[in-house]
Each structure stands twice: as structure tokens, then as C-alpha cells.
Structure 1
């Protein structure tokens, strides 16, 4: 399993950085499945937050966050479309490149 460390460097590869956000989203989906019992119980993705470790003035944080957003939309279709914040920060825990959180609506059990 690849590991992605931050902060973003000047010669970064957008495709690889988006994979880091996608990996975060996959980890999040694992936890959502645990909480919901099944991903079939997800009604909608309401909000996604992405944090990208990057130097001051870095403009592409939202482009990197697209890796997570695109995964949710591809998996859940229109129900995966969400409000989103994507911000750059000077550092993240464990020297991560990206961190993602989400708020999802789950069917009442």
C-alpha cells in the first residue's frame, strides 16, 4: 500500500496527490461501513472536508481534494455529491499529505 507524506513539494504530481486523497476516502469508507453496517445504508454524503499539507500560497489544495470527492460521487452517484471544504495547512499528524473527514446520512435502523 503506498504511503503519501507531506507537505506538497514544488515538483508534485497531481495524479499521485489525488491518489492520497482517494486513499483517505477509502479508509473513511471502511469506517462508514463499520458504523452503518453496510455502505448500502448510506443515504447521502452531506459534507466532505479535506486538509492538504502544503506551503503557504499553494493553490492546488482543492484539486488534490478532488481525489476524495470523485470517489464518493463515483460510488454513490448523485447521493455522493456533497458540500466541501478543502484547505491547505502547514502540517498534518504523522506527516500525512492529506486528511479527509465526512458527514454522511445513514438510514435509520
Structure 2
């Protein structure tokens, strides 16, 4: 049995990708080097409008952080699709990084990062679930609660 393509899984799950993100400064959203596509850090925004502002564990709940991670990851998929033409060109997600602006005593980083991981699982399946790094940081640009980093291995 052939696994469903990423584009088919998006349709089947009812996920809606936001418009591709545009830079907030002097950089590009995606650069391809060989078979790797490196995406800029993705924020939980639609257009340039933040969906969440603040720190997880201090004003924002774990659930808010989870939803913000999912939203940022959706923006990453939208950027990838804009660059590649189709998410079906992605062989695997080579790396997922989730950087969370959190209070000093916050300890639930993995639960927040699962917003991005579980989204990738639903789109690409278990066999393409990436390794990840999850870090707590003191701040994220523009006061947002987190930033998601993706590196994708792609077909030519």
C-alpha cells in the first residue's frame, strides 16, 4: 500500500496553510543547498499579524504554546510549498528546532514543541518524523512566544 502524499494528507486532515510568510527584515524565507531546503525561523503569524504575543508559562499557557508551534510550523510548510511548488517534493524533514520564550521556571517545553511535531506527523507520517531540538530562550523577535526552524530533504 502506498502512503498518502503530503498534499493528500493536508486535504484529508482539513489543514489550511496560511499565505506564505514574507520577511520582517533583510533575509529570505528559504534557501536550497543541494537537496536541503533551509527555512528561516518561522513565527506564529499570518501575514505580519502575530497570533500570540508573550512568554509561555508567564501569560501564555502550554496549550497556547502548542497552538503557536503548530501555527509557526504551518507557516513553514507554506513557505516550503511556495519554494518547491508542492510538499510532495519533500523526502523527509531533516531537522525541527523549536525555540520557546518561556518563564525561568517553565519545564513543559516538550509539550509545547509537540504542536509542531504532531503537525509534521499528520502531514508526513511516522516514517518521516524528524529529530528535534527544543530550547527555552529569554526572548523571540517581536515578542512572540516561539520560533520554529525546519530543514527539509527534497527531491530534485
Superposition TM-score, scaled by structure 2 size = 0.64
**Equivalent residue, structure 1, for 2:144:** 96
Once the two structures are TM-superposed, the CA of residue 57 in structure 1 deviates from its matched residue by: 3.2
CA distance in 2, matches of 1:12, 1:93: 16
Alignment root-mean-square deviation, CA: 1.6
1:64 alignment partner in structure 2: 112
Which one has the largest radius of gyration? Answer: 2
Structure 2 unaligned segments of length 5 or more: list them.
1-45
8 Å contact kept, 1:54–1:88: yes
Find runs of 4+ consecutive structure 1 residues off by over 4 angstroms: none
1: CA distance, partners of 2:82 / 2:127: 19
- Cα distance, 1:11 vs structure 2: 6.2
Structure 2 SS opposite 1:56: coil
SS at match of 1:91: coil
Counterparts of 2:99 and 2:117, CA distance in 1: 13
Q: Is the 2:58–2:103 Cα contact (8 Å) retained in structure 1?
A: no
Residues 56-99 of structure 1 deviation map (CA, whole Å, 9 limit, x = unaligned): 23111121011001000110103431110000101100100110
CA distance in 2, matches of 1:66, 1:12: 16
1:12-64 alpha-carbon deviations (Å, 9 max, x no partner): 43222200000000000011111221011111111100011012231111210
More helix by share: 1
**Alignment match of 2:126 (pick from 78, 96, 101):** 78
Counterparts of residues 11-22 of structure 1 (less than 5 Å): 12-22=60-70
Unaligned stretches of 5+ in structure 1?
none
